[in-house]
């Protein structure tokens, strides 16, 4: 079974069926063992009625007790050996499924890492969660076909051959009847694929909304929009529930037919065999054997139907995984090195220029406009932005990531000790903690920097999480720091202190922040005032207050909010 450090290999992403086949090919020995064990187990199930027929015809009916004892002993030995085969088959197939599960998890996690910052721009969080929670397990379960599925085919052919020796008529009925049963179930499997696909898609959308709600519930509550969003979520949940009922309806038909049709078929064949026995065409022992053979066939047919059901669901899940694995990270065609000296970052689309060694603030009535500008300057979206006059697209992406850091105020925080959350190394974070005014956070925690943090640091307040994110950004010590709304969740006193200390901590290095807070703007060397995403004015905070009515109104509104 694949371990935590083993290379999972290169998945086949040409389609859902090809991905499932790739999972089988990744473990050929175990897959062959599962097929052999499954086939042997099912064939020996068919040996039981054969031995019973021999015991009746050669021992019980003529009164030969020695022959009866011999055949009964053989029956016991075969049954015991088959019980062991069943255990080994189940153990092997469990390993097959677990390998497929872990291998899929590894390729999905590896793809998420490869996408990096492009992940949130390529797909929703709900899609990834749905893959991890449901699709991985469904794919693993679909590999059941490797063992019992192959075994069912072998057992079917074996029983058919045995029936030929008893009665060609019965063999013909079985050979034609079993495929007819499978064909009757086939259309339901096609319907199941369609219903399951729509259900999984709706589930991914709803999961994304849950994630969005969890992150923005306070804001929605403050704006009075909680009820509106709750109604929309309730409506989507009802749609998902209705689709789930449709999936359940098709599933119930598949499972009912998988059990009911083989049982009905068993009754028909037994009736035919009984008539042949009554007419003297077959012996009593052969009648018992025929009943046993057909009863054994109920298992393979049920396995066929079950495998078809699992494969239908597995293909739907595999297609979702393949769709995720096909996503590509940000294209990197850069071949030039980053500037050797601190240089100007320029965004022609907005007209914004970030001068080296200075604290620059971007102010706009729509925060999304300034965030978009920083996205372009950090090369997270395609643009004509330049660094030292060189287009960012022409500079090697790893070098851009090494020198330019985009610090989002909603960046993810992973679970773990606070020290690992902010630095992940043994370096002393005291200076960065002081600069971000996070001393009180560390002091209030029971174990200081060793205190455990929940995922997204949900055991901290919004303002505390924002300061922890700023600590992490400062500890990285980038040449260029682009911070999106780094103080938006802080009270006025803390915000003013952060602005002062941030300026001191980043003295001589390039820093740009997006904000409309006068407390932060007053500490900036340069303020860039944007209107509709375009540069409208440049100057100090005080200059723009005097010369730009729009800027004055924007900042005054923010000042009123802080009172």
Between CA 519 and CA 509 the distance in angstroms is 21
Is residue 238 very low, low, confident or very high in pLDDT (cuts 50, 70, 90)? confident
Closest Cα to residue 460, out of 432, 490, 431, 481?
490
Closest Cα to residue 149, out of 338, 306, 274, 350?
306
Between CA 506 and CA 439 the distance in angstroms is 18
Beta bridge partners of 361: 513, 527
Q: Is 339 helix (H, G, I), strand (E, B) or coil?
A: coil
- Predicted TM-score (pTM) of the model is 0.64
pLDDT for res 506: 93
The 10s digit of each residue's pLDDT in 521-553 is 999 999 999 999 999 999 999 999 999 999 999
Sequence-distant (6+) residues with CB within 8 A of 303 are 148, 149, 151, 152
| Separation in Å, CA 55 to CA 81, 285, 290, 404, 514 | 19, 8, 14, 83, 89
The 10s digit of each residue's pLDDT in 347-373 is 999 999 999 999 999 999 988 899 999
Sequence-distant (6+) residues with CB within 8 A of 466 are 409, 486, 487, 488, 489, 490
Sequence-distant (6+) residues with CB within 8 A of 224 are none
Q: At what angle do helices 28-54 and 65-115 cross, to 10 degrees?
A: 160
The 10s digit of each residue's pLDDT in 46-70 is 777 777 777 777 777 777 788 778 8
Strand order in the sheet with 534-539: 404-408, 480-484, 510-514, 359-364, 526-531, 534-539
CB atoms within 10 A of CB 475: 19
Between CA 563 and CA 553 the distance in angstroms is 16
Which two tokens mark 399? 């070098």
Between CA 435 and CA 481 the distance in angstroms is 14
CB atoms within 10 A of CB 510: 23
pLDDT for res 215: 52
Which two tokens mark 17? 């069926």
Closest Cα to residue 2, out of 121, 87, 109, 117?
109
Beta bridge partners of 406: 482
Between CA 432 and CA 448 the distance in angstroms is 15
Residue 137 confidence (pLDDT) above 50: yes
Residue 563 confidence (pLDDT) above 50: no
Which two tokens mark 435? 């600069």
Is residue 458 very low, low, confident or very high in pLDDT (cuts 50, 70, 90)? confident
CB 493 within 8 Å of CB 563: no
Between CA 11 and CA 1 the distance in angstroms is 17
Sequence-distant (6+) residues with CB within 8 A of 221 are none
Closest Cα to residue 196, out of 261, 247, 152, 148?
247
The rounded Cα 301 to chain-centroid distance in angstroms is: 33
Once rounded to an integer, what is the mean pLDDT over residues 320-339?
85
| Separation in Å, CA 346 to CA 149, 327, 331, 353 | 62, 29, 20, 4
- Rounded to a whole number of angstroms, the distance between the first and last alpha carbons of the chain is 62
Residue 286 confidence (pLDDT) above 80: no
Sequence-distant (6+) residues with CB within 8 A of 285 are 52, 53, 54, 55, 56, 57, 61
């Amino acid at each position: 079974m694949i371990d935590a450090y083993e290379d999972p290999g290169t998945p086949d992403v040409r389609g859902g069926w090809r991905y499932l086949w790739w999972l089988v090919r990744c473990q050929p020995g175990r897959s062959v063992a599962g097929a052999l064990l499954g086939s042997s187990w099912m064939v020996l199930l068919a040996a039981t009625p054969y031995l019973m027929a021999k015991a009746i015809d050669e021992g019980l009916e003529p009164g030969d007790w020695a022959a009866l004892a011999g055949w009964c002993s053989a029956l016991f030995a075969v049954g015991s050996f088959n019980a062991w085969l069943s255990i080994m088959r189940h153990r092997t197939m469990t390993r097959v499924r677990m390998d497929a599960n872990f291998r899929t998890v590894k390729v999905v996690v590896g793809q998420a890492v490869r996408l990096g910052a492009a992940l949130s721009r390529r797909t929703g969080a709900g899609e990834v969660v749905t893959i991890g929670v449901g699709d991985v397990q469904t794919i693993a379960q679909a590999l059941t076909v490797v063992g019992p599925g192959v075994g069912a085919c072998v057992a079917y052919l074996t029983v058919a051959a045995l029936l030929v020796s008893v009665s060609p008529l019965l063999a013909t009925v079985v050979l034609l009847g079993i495929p007819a049963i499978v064909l009757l179930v086939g259309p339901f499997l096609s319907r199941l694929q369609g219903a399951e696909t729509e259900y999984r898609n709706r589930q991914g959308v709803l999961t994304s909304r849950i994630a969005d709600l969890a992150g923005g519930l306070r804001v929605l509550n403050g704006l009075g929009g909680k009820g509106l969003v709750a109604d929309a979520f309730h409506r989507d949940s009802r749609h998902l529930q209705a689709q789930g009922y449709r999936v359940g309806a098709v599933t119930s038909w598949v499972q009912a037919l998988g059990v009911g049709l083989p049982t009905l078929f068993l009754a028909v064949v037994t009736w035919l065999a009984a008539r042949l026995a009554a007419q003297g065409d077959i012996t009593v022992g052969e009648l018992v054997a025929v009943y046993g053979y057909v009863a054994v066939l109920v298992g393979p047919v049920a396995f066929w139907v079950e495998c078809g059901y699992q494969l239908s669901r597995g293909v739907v899940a595999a297609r979702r995984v393949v769709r995720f694995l096909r996503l590509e990270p940000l294209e990197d065609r850069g071949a030039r090195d980053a500037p050797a000296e601190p240089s100007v970052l320029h965004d022609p689309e907005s007209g914004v220029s970030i001068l080296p060694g200075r604290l620059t603030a971007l102010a706009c009535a729509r925060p999304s406009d300034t965030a978009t500008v920083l996205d372009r300057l950090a090369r997270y979206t395609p643009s004509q932005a330049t660094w030292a006059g060189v287009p960012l697209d022409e500079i090697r992406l790893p070098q851009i990531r090494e020198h330019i850091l985009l610090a989002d105020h909603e960046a993810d925080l992973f679970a773990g000790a606070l020290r690992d959350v902010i630095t992940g190394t043994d370096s002393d974070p005291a200076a960065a903690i002081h600069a971000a005014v996070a001393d009180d956070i560390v002091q209030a925690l029971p174990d200081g920097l060793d205190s455990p943090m929940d995922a997204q640091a949900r055991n901290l307040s919004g303002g505390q999480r924002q300061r922890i994110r700023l600590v992490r950004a400062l500890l990285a010590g980038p040449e260029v720091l682009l911070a999106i709304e780094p103080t938006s969740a802080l009270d006025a006193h803390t915000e003013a202190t952060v602005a002062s200390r941030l300026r001191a901590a980043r003295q001589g290095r390039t820093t740009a922040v997006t904000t409309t807070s006068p407390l932060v703007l007053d500490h900036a060397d340069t303020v860039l005032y944007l209107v509709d995403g375009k540069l409208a004015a440049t100057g100090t905070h005080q200059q723009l207050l005097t010369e730009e009515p729009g800027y004055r109104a924007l900042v005054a509104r923010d000042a009123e909010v802080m009172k």
